[in-house]
């Protein structure tokens, strides 16, 4: 089968690779659409240590069941599906608690990190355990269904925040996931969502998608200003959706005493933080990892439009052109958000 193979740092080859075999409890999926994730961009050059070549990347996908393995009873050939980006075991203690994202034996599709190599969805086909599949309606395009994974990530982050719908929430970082967090907050009933970013065009889009107020991250004394407009002591919750030192610092400084900072971004493996602010103001820091059960809601909200993904789709192109689009996204002078590759 054809696949987009990362053969060396930032080097791709659209080539033939062996088709995976279907085992017990597994299904073969004919991949129809797969989005390029920011983690793929940051991983392709080797800096993250999670895309060690050779690897077929890709984990934001949708397709059609083309073959079922022994023991599979809930799926049939022709079913339209999307699927979790985390291949979880379903048997460990965390899985039994419903924390599939924390599975002791998890493998993320399209990741090669030394501990494992799990080829992903930038290919004509992929074989998956049936337990991670989710049905998609006929009315939902494969391109939109490929957004189920990032939408589920955004919903999971919101699930980790205390529900205080009357208090303003601050979202720092209006990239793809940040824009989905903004929409998730609004869909869940938050009245006031404040967006912060360096890019004015993304702030404008944040406003279109539900942000009540937007601020440039370059604004002087921004943390103090955010605390003032959130009632003096600060916001009840802030979502950091970048994963870098300055946004983490701002997120911590803009919340109120006893407030919560949900850390979603992980661009940098470690960052300094204002520890005294966290300790003396008793701020809760919560890491948000992937998703755990939010796929059905994600599919529903994409379908009913309560979370809009079409404004975030920058291009839908053939898989064979994937290498060129990775290069464009790496530089990203065009303001691209999501590029979907179609085998």
Kindly report, residue by residue over 239-252, the tens digit of the pLDDT.
999 999 999 999 99
Q: State the pLDDT at residue 103.
A: 97
> 75 and 90 in contact (C-beta within 8 Å)?
no
Q: What is the pLDDT of residues 189-235, one digit of tens each?
A: 999 999 999 999 999 999 999 999 999 999 999 999 999 999 879 99
Two tokens, residue 274: 């204002």
Q: Which residues does residue 98 pair with via DSSP β-bridges, in sequence order?
A: none
Comparing 49 with 91, the larger pLDDT belongs to 91
Phi, psi of 169 (to 5 degrees): -115, 140
What per-residue confidence (pLDDT) applies to 48? 86
Task: Give the count of beta carbons closer than 10 Å to the beta carbon of residue 179.
Answer: 31
CATH of 2-151+291-342 given 3.40.50.720, 3.30.70.1140, 3.40.140.10, 3.90.180.10? 3.90.180.10
Question: Under a CB-based contact definition with an 8 Å cutoff, are residues 187 and 157 in contact?
Answer: no
* Strand residues in 206-319 grouped as ranges (E): 213-216, 235-240, 255-263, 284-287, 313-318
Using a pLDDT cut of 70, give the percent of the chain over it: 100
pLDDT tens-digit series, residues 113-146: 989 999 999 999 999 999 999 999 999 999 999 9
Q: pLDDT-based confidence at 46, cuts 50/70/90?
A: confident
The per-residue pLDDT for 112 is 96
Domain 161-287, classified CATH 3.40.50.1100, yes or no: no
Total-model pTM:
0.96
Identify the pLDDT of residue 114. 85
First to last CA, the chain: 10
Q: Where are the domains of the chain?
A: 2-151+291-342, 161-287
pLDDT at 49 over 90: no
Residues paired with residue 29 on neighbouring β-strands, in sequence order: 65, 126
The C-alpha atoms of residue 252 and residue 267 are separated, in whole angstroms, by 17
Residue % of the chain over a pLDDT of 90: 95
**Do 161-287 and 2-151+291-342 fall under one CATH topology?**
no
| Distance between CA atoms of residues 317 and 78, nearest Å | 23
d(CA 146, CA 144): 5
Burial environment of residue 46 by CB neighbours within 10 A (0 to 12, 13 to 18, 19 or more): middle
- pLDDT at residue 47, as a whole number: 84
For residue 151, pLDDT over 90 is answered with yes
pLDDT tens digits, one per residue of 262-321: 999 988 889 999 999 999 999 999 999 999 999 999 999 999 999 999 999 999 999 999
pLDDT at 50: 92
């Amino acid at each position: 089968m054809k696949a987009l193979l990362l053969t060396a740092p930032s080097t791709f080859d659209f080539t033939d690779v062996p088709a995976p075999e279907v085992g017990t409890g597994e299904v073969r999926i004919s991949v129809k659409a797969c989005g390029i994730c920011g983690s793929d961009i940051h991983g392709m050059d080797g800096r993250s240590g999670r895309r060690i070549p050779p690897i077929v990347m890709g984990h934001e996908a949708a397709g059609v069941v083309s073959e079922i393995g022994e023991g599979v009873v809930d799926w049939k050939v022709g079913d339209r599906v999307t699927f979790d980006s985390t291949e979880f075991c379903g048997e460990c203690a965390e899985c039994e608690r419903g924390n599939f994202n924390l599975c002791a034996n998890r493998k993320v599709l399209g990741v090669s990190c030394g501990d494992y190599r799990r080829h992903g969805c930038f290919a004509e086909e992929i074989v998956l355990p049936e337990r991670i599949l989710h049905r998609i309606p006929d009315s939902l395009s494969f391109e939109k269904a490929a957004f189920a994974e990032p939408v589920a990530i955004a919903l999971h982050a919101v699930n980790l925040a205390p529900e205080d719908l009357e208090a303003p929430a601050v979202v720092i970082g209006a990239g793809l996931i940040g824009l989905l967090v903004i929409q998730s907050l609004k869909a869940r009933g938050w009245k006031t969502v404040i967006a912060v970013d360096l890019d004015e065009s993304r702030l404008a889009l944040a406003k279109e998608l539900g942000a009540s107020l937007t601020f440039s991250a370059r604004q002087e004394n921004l943390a103090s200003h955010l605390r003032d407009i959130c009632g003096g002591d600060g916001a009840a919750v802030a979502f950091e959706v970048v994963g870098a030192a300055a946004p983490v610092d701002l997120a911590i400084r803009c919340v109120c005493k006893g407030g919560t900072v949900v850390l979603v971004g992980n661009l940098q493996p470690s960052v300094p933080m204002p520890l005294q602010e966290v300790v003396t103001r008793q701020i809760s820091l919560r890491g948000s990892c992937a998703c755990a059960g939010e796929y059905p809601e994600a599919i529903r909200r994409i379908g009913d439009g309560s979370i809009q993904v079409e404004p975030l789709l920058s291009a839908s192109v053939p898989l064979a052109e994937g290498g060129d689009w990775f290069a464009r996204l790496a530089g990203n002078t065009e303001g691209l958000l999501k590029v979907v590759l179609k085998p």
